[in-house]
Amino acid sequence: MKYRHAILIILLVIIIDQVSKVYIKTHFYYGEEVNVLGTWFRLHFIENEGMAFGMKLSEAATGKLILTLFRLVAVVFGFFLLKKFVKKGYHKGLIICGSLILAGALGNLIDSIFYGLIFTESTFHIAQMVPWGQGYGKMFYGRVVDMLYFPIVDIILPTWVPIWGGKPFSFFDPVFNIADTAISGGVITLLVFQKKFMQAPGTQPGNETTTVK
């Protein structure tokens, strides 16, 4: 598998991720929800300050800056590592998974670096794109747009259930985006097939060292 193929995967994921985020950001009120397939797949617009699935490193602004800078360093190193794997002829499954993870990280990094500069606030109005630097925040302090919501189970537990009886129960609660999906898909696939994907170059039948182009 050639390096340019990995770059194409990354570009495709980023384009889909960014188009979906810009559409949601400029067409939905914050918190607006639309059913797509019944009630178990919904578009639900929220934003988060931190990591995948709305997790946070810290409530402080410095935590947000540290996370964004860490992502930036990780993405730069990721491109270097991915090119190295391709050059050494690692399994194409590893290259694809690495490309997905890298694309997801870069997709969310774009939000964190630039969205505060080019979008107005979404809290009270539908956001609009504005000239550079006239947005709701500074560089590196943008919020990540999430919209995919799959509350597959959303019920009130029977009263006979110990402790939680009569209380609402839902699964799956986190709201996420295409970038998060790419990261999760790449990581899970890599974990499942790690013995096959992580074999040293030259140990796989028919495997040949690939020239980077």
Helical spans, DSSP H, in 133-206: 178-192, 194-197
Q: Which of 5-9, 179-183, 200-204 has the lowest mean pLDDT?
A: 200-204
Amino acid at position 107, single letter: G
Residue 104: which residues within 8 A CB-CB, separation 6 or more? 13, 17, 52, 178, 179, 180, 181, 182, 183, 184, 186
pLDDT of 77 reads: 96
- Whether 211 is in a domain gets the answer no
Q: How far is CA 8 from CA 46, 88, 102, 109, 178, in A?
A: 29, 19, 12, 18, 16
Average pLDDT for residues 106-135, to the nearest whole number?
94
Percentage of the chain lying above the pLDDT 90 cut: 65
Domain-embedded: residue 212: no
Residue 145 φ/ψ, nearest 5 degrees: -85, 130
The verdict on residue 209 lying in a domain is no
Looking at the domain assignment, is residue 26 inside a domain? yes
pLDDT bucket at 146, cuts 50 / 70 / 90: very high
The tally of domains found in the chain comes to 1
Mean pLDDT of the chain: 87
Asked if the model's pLDDT at residue 100 lies above 80, the reply is: yes
Average pLDDT of span 106-117? 95
> pTM for the full model?
0.84
Q: Is 87 domain-assigned?
A: yes
The pLDDT value given to residue 55: 53
What mean pLDDT do residues 90-108 have?
Answer: 95
Structural domain of 128: 3-197
Instruction: Indicate whether 41 belongs to any domain.
Output: yes
Helix, strand or coil for residue 85?
A: helix
Catalytic residue ranges:
146, 180
